[in-house]
Structure 1
Amino acid sequence: MNGKATHTKTRLDRGRGALGPALELVHTGRAPTRAVLTAELGVTRATAGAVAAELEALGLIQVDSRPGAAAGSQGRPSHRLAVNALGPVALAAQVHADGFRAALVGLGGRTVATAPGCVTVSADPAQVLGEVVAAGAELLRGSGLRCVGAGLAVPSAVAEPDGTALNPLHLAWPAGAPVREIFAEQVRAAGIEGPAFTGNDVNLAALAEHRHGAGRGAAHLLCVATGHRGVGGALVLDGRLHTGSSGLALEVGHLTVNPEGRPCYCGGRGCLDVETDPLAFLSTAGRDPGPEVSLLAQSRELLRAEYDDVSVRRAAEELIDRLGLGLAGLVNILNPDRIILGGLHKALLEADPDRLRAVVADRSLWGRSGGVPILACSLDHNSLVGAAELAWQPVLDDPLAALG
C-alpha cells in the first residue's frame, strides 16, 4: 500500500465514527457542501473528504466532482453534497380511518413512489397490514431499489416496549393489538429486507417536519394535527421525539376545551378530539358528512369553497377558538419555541391566522410574553415520511453496520 493510500485509510478510520452524523447532516439538508460538513463535524478537510467518499461508496450520497461556490461568494469553492437519488429507500406505510397508503421514501425525506389503498379498513389488523405491505412490496419490485427497512404509522398511541396499539379509537381494531409484531411478520413474509418499526402517526409527522419541513431548527417543537378523525399531538426535543416513559406522551386530543361539549370516546366530554376534528367542523357547519370522500378532505374543501358562507365561517371560528384554548394550555405546560399544525388545523390556521394566534397569545402566559410562532406543516404525507424516518434511523446511527 502506498503512502497516499495509507494516509487516506487513516483519515477514514478516524472519521468512521463521523459517518452517521455526516449522513444525518446531508439527510436533513444542513450540509449542502463539503466545507459546511467539515465545519459542522469539527474535523479536518481531509477527514471530511474521506467520510463523504465512504458515504458515496455506500450509495447514500453524491459528491459533485467539480467544486463550486455560491454566486457572490468570496470563499474557496467546495464540493456540493446531495442524497443519492438512486440510492436505497425505506418502505413507509400508514393506516388511518379512511384507508391506507404505502410509499417508498429515500434519504432527504424524498418520496419516490406511493400507492393509495382501500377506503374501508378491516377490523382485523393482520388483514389491513398484510394489504399495505403487499402494496409496498409491489412498489419495491417496480423500483428495483434496495430497501433498508419498513416503518408504519397508525392513528393510536403505541405502547413501548411491546409496540401495541392501546387506543385505536377511530379504527375497529381491538385495544392492545400487537401492531408492531404483526407488521414485522408481514414485512418478513413479503421478503422485504431490514427491520420493521411502528409509531403513532402524529409523532411521526412531527419527526418528519422537524427534519425536513416546517419544524426545522426548532429546539422544542410542538405539533398538533387532525387526522381523518380525532386529534393528536407530539413534541420533538433537541431532534428526538419525546414519547414519555412508555410511548404514551402527548395525548393532547383528550384535553378538555368545552366542558359542556360532545361526549368523547375516552369517556370524557368536550375534548379536542371531538371538538376540533373534521367531523366536529362538518357538524358545527350544519353539513352532513358524505361517505364517498374522507372527512378531512370534505372539511378542507368546505373551508376552501364556502368560507364566505355564514355557517361555515362561524363553525371555523368556533373550532379556532377551541383549538386556541387547547394550544394555550399546552404552551403554558411545555413552553415550546414553535408550534406546527397539520390536517384540518392547518387549514383553520390558513383561513384565519390572526384569530388563532390572538387566542393563544391571550390565553397563555408565555404567549403574552412574546408569542410562539405558529406555522402550518409543510410536507405532503408527513406521517409516511416520518414512518420512513424510523426505518432510516439505524442507517443514520451507523451506516456501515446497517448496510454492511
Structure 2
Amino acid sequence: MNGKAAPRTVGDGSTRTRLERGRGALGPALALVHTGRAPTRAVLTAELGVTRATAGAVAAELEALGLIRVDSHPSAATGSQGRPSHRLHLAEDGPVVLAGQIHADGLRVALVGLGGRIVATASRRAAVDADPAGALGTVVAAGAELLAATPRRCVGAGLAVPSAMTEPEGAALNPLHLAWPPGSPVREVFADQVRAAGITGPARAGNDVNLTALAEHRHGAGRGARDLLCVATGHTGVGGALVLDGKLHTGSSGLALEVGHLPVRPEGGHRCYCGGRGCLDVETDPHAFLTAAGRDPGPGTSVLQQARDLIRDAYDEPAIRIATELLIDRLGLGLAQLVNILNPDRIILGGLHKALLEADPERLRAVVADRSLWGRSGGVPILPCVLDHNSLVGAAELAWQPVLDDPLRIAP
C-alpha cells in the first residue's frame, strides 16, 4: 500500500467491539473530515452521534488506512473555553485520484487529494480529437505522466466533459462544442483508457458545470447552502447545475439544468447551436463578450482567459465597460428566470460570469432582484466561485465518492 501501514488489528476486546460498531460510521466520518466539517475528534463525535470511544476507534481506523492524521496530544481551539480535543487532518502523503477535464481549447489534468487539494496539474492547449477515444487517451496519458512523478497511490479517476451526460449510461448526449458524435459513450471509453494505462480504481465522468457545483458545494463558495444554483461559462457556452440537500440534481436521465439554452434575446439574438436564438449559451459566453467588445479572439490564450483579462485590465475603456454591462444585463435576466423557477438559497457564478459579477456586483444583483419575484422579497445571495480549477476538483469528487462511501475499499 505504497508503504502505508495496514489497518490495525486491535487486540483489546472492548476496543474491537467499538470499532465493529463504528465501521458503518467510517464513510460518514471521512466525509466530515474531507469537507472540513470535523476539524477535531470532539466535533466528529457530535456530528456522528456516537460515543467518544467509538469516534476515537473510527478516527484510528481512518488513520491506519492512511487517509487522515490524528494529533497525538489534544488541544483547545484558540479562544475556546471547552475541553481540549485531538485535531484531525487529512493525510498530506495520502492517496490521490486522477482528474481530467476536456474543454473546447484543449485539456487539463490534475492529481487531487482528499479535501479537494490539487497536488499536481498540467494543461495542453490544442484542438480536441474528433474521436473520443483519441481525446480521452490523451487525457489519461497526461495524467499518467503526473502519476509517474509521485509516490502517492492513485485510487480512481474522474473526468469533466463540456456536454450533457446521460445517466446511467454516461454518454455525451450532444457535445455541441466538440466534434464528437452525439451519444458518444464517454464514461465507457474513459474507463477503458484508464484500465489500459494500468491505473486502478473506478473511473467516472460527468458534466463539467455539474462537477463545478459539486466541488464548490463541498469545498468552496457553496458550503452550507441547501438549494445551490451554479451558473458558469466554459471556454465556450454556458452551463448550470443545482445541488439539493447536498446532492446534485441531475433529473430523470442526467439532463437537468441545461440553462445555456434559456432564451434572453429571442428577438434578434445570435443563432444558438441548439437551433434557437438569443440563448444564454451564445449571449453571455466569452465569444459573445469579445464580439460585444469589438475584439477578435487572438492566438495563444483561450477565449475565456482573453475575455477575463479584458475585464480585469481594460475595464475603463468604454467599449469594454459597455460590453460588460451588456452581458451583465443578459445574464441577470437569465438568472432571474431561474430564481423564479427554482427558488435557490444561493447562486454561485463561475468562468466569465464570475468576472462579470466581480466587475459590477450591484448591477447584476439589481437586475436579478428587479426581474424575479423572489428577488424582490429580499434577494438571493450571488457569489463568485472560489476554487481554482473547480471542474477538476469536481471530477476528483466523482473518483473519491466510492472511497467516501466505503473507506475500507482501499485497504490491502
**For the superposition of Structure 1 and Structure 2, which TM-score range results when normalised by the shorter chain?**
over 0.9
Report matched runs for 1:199-210 at 5 Å: 199-210=206-217
Cα deviation for residue 163 of structure 1 reads 0.9
Where does residue 13 of structure 1 map in the other structure? Answer: 20
Tell me, what secondary structure is at the counterpart of 1:331? helix
Cα deviation for residue 306 of structure 1 reads 1.0
1:179 equivalenced with 2:179 (yes/no): no
Change in 2 beyond 3 A, CA 1:166/1:211? same
Where does residue 314 of structure 1 map in the other structure? Answer: 322
Where does residue 356 of structure 1 map in the other structure? Answer: 364
1:242 equivalenced with 2:249 (yes/no): yes
Where does residue 121 of structure 2 map in the other structure? Answer: 114
Report matched runs for 1:242-391 at 5 Å: 242-260=249-267, 261-391=269-399
- 2:105 equivalent among 73, 98, 102: 98
Change in 2 beyond 3 A, CA 1:305/1:118? closer
- 1:79 equivalent among 77, 82, 86: 86
Where does residue 239 of structure 2 map in the other structure? Answer: 232
Change in 2 beyond 3 A, CA 1:220/1:403? farther
Does the CA-based 8 Å contact 2:110-2:122 persist in structure 1? Answer: yes
**TM-score (normalizing by structure 2):** 0.96
Does the CA-based 8 Å contact 2:293-2:320 persist in structure 1? Answer: yes
Does the CA-based 8 Å contact 2:65-2:410 persist in structure 1? Answer: no
Does the CA-based 8 Å contact 1:157-1:167 persist in structure 2? Answer: yes
Where does residue 146 of structure 1 map in the other structure? Answer: 153
Does the CA-based 8 Å contact 1:170-1:229 persist in structure 2? Answer: yes
Gaps of 5+ in 1: none
In the alignment of these two chains, the number of paired residues is: 402
Where does residue 45 of structure 2 map in the other structure? Answer: 38
Rounded Cα–Cα distance in structure 1 between residues aligned with 2:408 and 2:79: 38
Q: Which moved more, 1:284-293 or 1:208-217?
A: 284-293
Cα deviation for residue 4 of structure 1 reads 7.7
Does the CA-based 8 Å contact 2:344-2:380 persist in structure 1? Answer: yes
Counterpart amino acid of residue 125 in structure 1: P
Counterpart amino acid of residue 348 in structure 1: L
Rounded Cα–Cα distance in structure 2 between residues aligned with 1:389 and 1:18: 19
Does the CA-based 8 Å contact 1:90-1:106 persist in structure 2? Answer: yes
Cα deviation for residue 403 of structure 1 reads 3.8
When the two chains are superposed, the root-mean-square deviation of aligned CA atoms in Å is 1.0
Rounded Cα–Cα distance in structure 1 between residues aligned with 2:78 and 2:254: 47
Counterpart amino acid of residue 342 in structure 1: G
Where does residue 191 of structure 1 map in the other structure? Answer: 198
Cα deviation for residue 221 of structure 1 reads 0.4
1:167 equivalenced with 2:174 (yes/no): yes
Does the CA-based 8 Å contact 1:394-1:402 persist in structure 2? Answer: no
Rounded Cα–Cα distance in structure 2 between residues aligned with 1:27 and 1:43: 19
Rounded Cα–Cα distance in structure 1 between residues aligned with 2:181 and 2:202: 25
Change in 2 beyond 3 A, CA 1:330/1:403? farther
Where does residue 47 of structure 1 map in the other structure? Answer: 54
Rounded Cα–Cα distance in structure 2 between residues aligned with 1:192 and 1:118: 24
Rounded Cα–Cα distance in structure 1 between residues aligned with 2:138 and 2:11: 53
Q: Which moved more, 1:26-35 or 1:393-402?
A: 393-402
Tell me, what secondary structure is at the counterpart of 2:274? coil
Runs of 4+ residues over 4 Å off in structure 1: none
